[in-house]
Structures are given as structure tokens and as C-alpha cells.
Amino acid sequence: MNIIFLGPPGVGKGTHAKLLGEELNIPQISTGDMLRAHIKGQTALGMAAKKHIDAGELVPDDVVIGMVKERLAQPDCENGFILDGFPRTIPQAEALKAITTIDAVIDLVAGNEVILGRLSGRRVCKDCGATYHISRLDGKTTCEACGGPLIHRVDDQPDTILNRLKVYEEQTAPLIAYYEQEGLLHAVSAEEGIEVDHQLIKEALGLTA
Ligand code: AP5
């Protein structure tokens, strides 16, 4: 199954794409994670992307499209994949349509207050990228998976969050109508908590018994 997770910053795309990918045994492809790996590795692409990401702006379409094309050509995508954070603009959606077919688009929906609470409380492992929320950390400051330090992402500071939400409304939200017209869109509430929301996603995809 080829699936897209759509939705504003902090709505839970990464959390749910990872869970579902593990259950279906297909890769979760996060363009945000790929770009952060480039920044960590100090590649030319990473250096060019950093200023956009830190400011809460989108990285130029040609850069991201090239990166995704290359990733989808890998053999582990043959049985399906979950795109998390791509496409984010109409030109990205058109480029994707030219290279592969999509079976379903999950549009995760939550109010701005929920999103602000999630992003301001999010902590990520500096070493492996695992994501946590302070409400579930019980004061811990290191990663359960690898022991690395937990940090607050540069783009999770209040002013940058507001800019990311604005950019989402202007450039990414039009994809909702785009995929509705394609007959692929499933809107799913993402406000109930991780376990409940995960079930709602599976129901929308027809994956429950
Ligand atoms: P990216 O990393 O993709 O950021 P994003 O889309 O803004 O999404 P986030 O990672 O912030 O949030 P999420 O929806 O994955 O939420 P999460 O699961 O972590 O991209 C970063 C930047 O890279 C962009 O701003 C842009 O510059 C660039 N970029 C990336 N892709 C691009 C593209 N295609 N084109 C151009 N530029 C691109 O959850 C958030 C928190 O909430 C966590 O703490 C989690 O534990 C908690 N949580 C999640 N779900 C629930 C729930 N149901 N109940 C309770 N808590 C929950």
C-alpha cells in the first residue's frame, strides 16, 4: 500500500507513520528526517536546506522532489511505503503522480491549541531522532532507545512554530482539495491520543478486522 500522511506541523504524522510502517512492514519516508540527516552529515544539500528549516519555511521543491525520487527507487519501497511530510505543495504532488501511484491519503486533523501544546512539549533524540512528548517522559532527559540526549528542535520555538503553521495554510493545505478531487482523501481526527488515533487511521484505511 502506498500511503501519504498529510496534516499540519505537530499533528502526529511522524508518530503515526512510524507505528503503521512497523505494523505493515513498509518504510516510513519522512522528508523532514531525511533533510535533518543531510544537515547532520553537513552535505551540500543539508547546508542549503538548513536556513529554510530553521526559519520554518519550506525547502525548495526541486531539492525535495529529487531526494524523494531517489528514495522511492530503493528496493524496500517495492511493497509499499508511507510518505510523511511529502508532498507539501501542488508541484510536489504533481511530481509524485508522475513517478508512482498512491492508494490513500490520511489527512490528520487537530486544532491549533493541540498542535502548539504538542510541538512546544516535543523532545527529540539528538542521536537517533526518536520523538517524545514531555507529558510522557516523567522527567527523563535521555532517549529510551539509544541513551542519546533529548533536545528541543530549533524549529519548535514559538515564533517558528507560528510561521510553520502559516506556511502550512498557504502552501500545503491546498493539497486537501487536490487529493479529495483524486478520491484518495481520508480525514482522521488526531486529537484523542496516540492509541485511539492509530485505530482511527487503520479503520480509515480498511485495515481493521
Ligand atoms: P518535518 O520534520 O516533516 O516537520 P513537520 O511537518 O512540521 O512535522 P513535525 O515533524 O513537526 O510533526 P509531526 O506531524 O510529524 O508530529 P509528531 O509525530 O512529531 O519537516 C521539518 C522541516 O523540513 C519543514 O518545516 C520544512 O522546512 C522541511 N521539509 C520537510 N518536508 C518538506 C517538503 N516536502 N517540502 C519542503 N520542505 C520540507 O508529533 C508531535 C508531538 O506530539 C510529539 O511530541 C508526539 O509525541 C506528540 N503526539 C503525536 N501524536 C499524538 C497524539 N495523537 N496524541 C498525543 N500526542 C501526540
Q: Which atom of ligand 1 is nearest to the CA of 92?
A: 34
Q: Which residue, by CA, sits nearest to atom 54 of ligand 1? A: 193
What one-letter code names the amino acid at 207? L
Q: Which of 36, 88, 118, 123 is catalytic?
A: 88
What mean pLDDT is predicted for residues 111-136? 93
Q: Which atom of ligand 1 is nearest to the CA of 35?
A: 23
| Matching residue, cell 543539508 | 46
The percent of residues in the chain predicted with pLDDT above 70, rounded, is 100
Q: Is 118 an annotated catalytic residue?
A: no
* Residue 54 main-chain phi, psi, to 5 deg: -60, -30
Q: Is 18 an annotated catalytic residue?
A: no
Q: Which of 36, 118, 122, 123 is catalytic?
A: 122
At 162-204, the pLDDT tens digits run: 999 999 999 999 999 999 999 999 999 999 999 999 999 999 9
Which domains are seen in the chain, by residue range? 2-111+172-204 (3.40.50.300)
Residue 56 confidence (pLDDT): 94
Grid cell in block for residue 185: 482523501
Instruction: Give the DSSP letter string of 128-172.
Output: T--EEEGGGTTT--B-TTT-PBEE--GGGSHHHHHHHHHHIIIII
Q: Which atom of ligand 1 is nearest to the CA of 88?
A: 34
Closest CA to 17 of 190, 140, 174, 179: 190
* Residue 207 main-chain phi, psi, to 5 deg: -105, 10
Q: Is 118 helix (H, G, I), strand (E, B) or coil?
A: helix
- Taking the centre of ligand 1 as the mean of its atom positions, its distance from the CA of residue 80, in whole angstroms, is 21
The percent of residues in the chain predicted with pLDDT above 90, rounded, is 96
Q: Contact 40/62 with Cβ under 8 angstroms? A: no
What mean pLDDT is predicted for residues 133-140? 93
Q: Is 123 an annotated catalytic residue?
A: no
| Matching residue, cell 525548495 | 60
Q: Is 126 an annotated catalytic residue?
A: no
Grid cell in block for residue 78: 517495492
